Homo-oligomer: A and B are copies of this chain.
Amino acid sequence: MFVIITYDVGEKRVNKVRKKLKQYLMWTQNSVFEGEISEGKLQKCLFEVSKIIKKEEDSIYVYRINFPAQVKKDIMGIVKSYEDIFI
């Protein structure tokens, strides 16, 4: 399964959310992670994220696409190396 996760999280919690998502997926843009993952691992990931966020303030969007081959990804402009700038 291919997953795209986007987040809009308060500043105080954003690093924790990123660290957690980074354990499961690839950081591709400022507030976007993506990757292939099993439903079980995704559930674990989302459960852990749910313990970090404030549900009345933050939002996490999860797009599941069953067949990764169905997803075509294009990039316009630069590809930022978030893995590098992330401490």
With known contacts A4-B63, A6-B29, A32-B32, A58–B78 Cβ distance under 8 A: yes
> In the complex the two chains form, what is the Cα distance from A31 to B65 in whole Å?
20
Indicate if the CB atoms of B62 and A8 lie closer than 8 Å.
no
Classify the secondary structure of A's interface with B: strand
Give me the interface of A with B, judged by CB distance under 8 Å: 4, 6-8, 28-32, 46, 49-50, 53-67, 70-80
Given contact pairs A60-B77, A65-B70, a sample of 18 additional A-B residue pairs in the complex whose CB atoms are under 8 Å apart: A4-B4, A4-B63, A6-B30, A8-B29, A8-B30, A56-B78, A57-B77, A58-B77, A59-B75, A59-B76, A59-B80, A61-B74, A62-B73, A62-B74, A62-B76, A63-B71, A65-B71, A70-B70
Closest 5 CB pairs of A and B: A60-B76, A59-B77, A64-B72, A8-B30, A62-B74
